[in-house]
Chain A
């Protein structure tokens, strides 16, 4: 019934600055419903300011040793919770093996946002129009989830369960995201359309990865949560990646997505935009395969 001025400062909470992951576990366990994790904070603080949430404790991950940065392993990459999108962009391995993640990170807000926002924070915010989750979906990312009861691994396809909802239980938090090592020849892209060319949330966005005859596709903005489009993938693969049968692929896409009408567009338009993003993400990925595999005649083996 009433509108009041929005102000972060007008809220009261305790800022906890733990110095180890175990301490984070304990603080969250002490107040599982009223404590929120700050891993960058560019979404969390907007939500507190907007009266969407009113946590009693905000748990800053910024002081926890070992949570900032990317660790390269033999079989993949671990991106720790406090790693900013900007830092991710500067990681050479991410740029060569996980291009779609770079593409997506660069569309999250402005440079100022990317200097603060984290990949894990963007994932946990679980916006239905979020950019980076779609990249995590096509790379078969796994979330390392912690709590006092121990830790567990959750695959990306099980992580988001609805608008602003994840599988995290009270007291749990995400310590890292793990990306399996991609094939050397794999290329990927993320493309999205917003209302303006500048900073804006996506109307729709699609990530695409291709390697050795396999295609992976995920979308954002057109379903209750970022979504891997397995049906589209199988229709795509069935028709061959070289000359996609866009009619059947688009039909599959339309079956698999369910956009809502909102201030950024009607559901009809969002469907059209998603289809365009899919085509263009595919085309850009094919081009990137060509660049990655110049000796293989435009990378055609990968298709």
Chain B
């Protein structure tokens, strides 16, 4: 199939089979490999991107159905609201160990903070309930979200 996708506010012409998920297109066609994967069935959250500002599992969205929507990946996170604050907080709080789940975590965080700039710890836990991390035990990540929400919220 041939279609256009808008990723991080850039327009891309895509030629890919209909069965390609957004994850497949991002990684294999557009070489935007910051988005990671594990389960490819919507359980691990490694492939989380934003679709019109909200977190989705890119493995469970057919790329061709994302036409006309704005896709934001980790490569565009720095230009997103709360992006700089969240990334800085991840560094400050040492919230990335191996770093593999980090892009997905950051995208879930941006989705949360967009809707709820001052989340409680429980709301943060719920927001990343679909993002597995096997390294950190989540504590540093939750703390990073809290830091970003305060700093970003001051703007």
Contacts and interface: CB of A to CB of B under 8 A. Distances in A.
Interface string A1-15: 000001111111111
B59 A109 contact: no
Nearest to A57: B18
Nearest to A10: B19
Output the residue of B20, B61, B65, B127 with the most chain A CB within 10 A: B65
Nearest to A48: B19
Contact of B130 (A9, A13, A14, A113): A113
Contacts of B76: none
Contacts of B65: 15, 17, 38, 41, 60, 62
B5 to A, nearest CB: 14
Given A41-B61, A49-B41, A112 B130 contact: yes
Considering residues B19, B55, B108, which has the most beta carbons from chain A within 10 angstroms of its beta carbon? B19
A112 B56 contact: yes
A41 to B, nearest CB: 6
A115 interface: yes
A58 B61 contact: no
A204 B57 CA distance: 26
A42 B62 contact: no
Given A42-B42, A112-B48, A12 B17 contact: yes
Contacts of B64: 15, 17, 60
A198 interface: yes
Q: Which of A9, A13, A112, A115 has the most CB of B within 10 A?
A: A112
A112 B41 CA distance: 12
B42 A109 contact: yes
Nearest to B41: A46
Given A46-B60, A111-B111, A8 B54 contact: no
Contacts of A58: 18, 62
A116 B56 contact: yes
B18 to A, nearest CB: 4
Contacts of B70: none
Given A8-B40, A14-B18, A110 B45 contact: yes
Contacts, number: 99
A116 B40 contact: no
> Which applies to chain A's interface (DSSP): helix, strand, loop or mixed?
loop
Nearest to B18: A15
Contacts of A49: 40-41
B130 to A, nearest CB: 2
Contact of A110 (B28, B51, B62, B130): B130
A262 B48 CA distance: 30
A110 B45 CA distance: 9
Contacts of B45: 110, 112
A115 B17 contact: no
A94 B65 CA distance: 27
A111 B126 CA distance: 8
A115 B19 contact: no
Nearest to A84: B54
B57 A112 contact: yes
B146 interface: no
Given A15-B62, A41-B61, A112 B19 contact: no
Contacts of A14: 18
Interface in A1-54: 6-15, 17, 38, 41-42, 45-46, 48-50
B43 interface: yes
B21 interface: yes
A115 B1 contact: no
Given A9-B17, A48-B19, 9 more contacts: A13-B19, A14-B18, A15-B64, A38-B62, A45-B60, A46-B60, A50-B41, A62-B65, A115-B111
12 contacts: A8-B40, A9-B21, A15-B64, A41-B62, A42-B57, A46-B41, A48-B19, A60-B64, A110-B130, A111-B126, A116-B51, A116-B56
